[in-house]
Copies of this chain bind each other. A is one copy, B any other.
Amino acid sequence: MRSVSIIGVGLTKFGEHWDKGFRELIVEAASKAVVDAGIEGKEIQAIYGGVMASGRLIGQEHIGALLADQLGMNPIASTRVEAACASGGVAVRSGFLAVASGAYDVVAVGGGEKMTDVSAEDVATALGGAGDQEWELFNGATFPALYALMARRHMLEYGTTEEQLAAVAVKNHSNGALNPLAQYQREITVEDVMNSGYIASPLKLLDCSPITDGAAAVILCATEKLKQLAPNGDAVEIAASAQASDSLALASRKSMSEVASTKVAANDAYRTAGVGPKDIDVAEVHDCFTIAEVMAIEALGFFPKGTGGKATEDGETELNSTISVNTSGGLKAAGHPIGATGIKQVSEIVLQLRGKADKRQVNDAQVGLAQNVGGSGATTVIHILRRRK
Contact = CB atoms under 8 A, between A and B. Distances in A.
A81 B81 contact: yes
Contacts of A60: 129, 133-134
A246 B61 contact: no
Contact of A1 (B68, B103, B252): B103
Interface string A46-80: 10000011111011111111101100011111111
Contact of A61 (B23, B129, B243, B245): B129
A84 B59 contact: no
A264 B82 CA distance: 26
Interface string A245-262: 111110010000000110
A40 to B, nearest CB: 19
B58 A56 contact: no
A144 interface: no
Interface stretch (A174-182, A307-315, A373-381): A373-381
Contact of A64 (B54, B61, B82): B82
A245 B53 contact: no
B75 A248 contact: no
Interface stretch (A8-16, A93-101, A226-234): A93-101
A337 interface: no
Contacts of A155: none
Interface string A22-54: 010000000000000000000000100000111
Nearest to A51: B82
B1 A65 contact: no
Interface residues of A, number: 68
Given A64-B83, A82-B63, A129-B60, A246 B101 contact: no
A131 interface: yes
B245 A64 contact: yes
A133 B23 CA distance: 12
A84 B40 CA distance: 29
Interface in A258-290: 260-261, 264
A1 B98 CA distance: 10
A80 B86 CA distance: 11
B100 A69 contact: no
A181 to B, nearest CB: 26
Given A94-B94, A101-B101, A244-B77, A374 B62 contact: yes
A101 B132 CA distance: 32
A128 interface: yes
Contact of A59 (B54, B133, B243): B133
Contacts of A220: none
A54 B264 CA distance: 27
A373 B196 CA distance: 50
Contacts of A78: 245, 379
A362 B210 CA distance: 57
Given A60-B133, A76-B245, A379-B62, A97 B101 contact: yes
Contact of A103 (B66, B100, B125, B252): B100
A299 to B, nearest CB: 12
A80 B77 contact: no
20 contacts: A1-B102, A1-B103, A53-B61, A60-B133, A60-B134, A62-B83, A62-B129, A64-B245, A65-B375, A69-B252, A76-B244, A77-B243, A78-B245, A78-B379, A79-B94, A80-B83, A97-B97, A97-B98, A97-B103, A101-B102
State the 6 A-B residue pairs at the shortest beta-carbon distance, nearest first: A101-B101, A65-B378, A61-B129, A77-B243, A62-B84, A68-B245
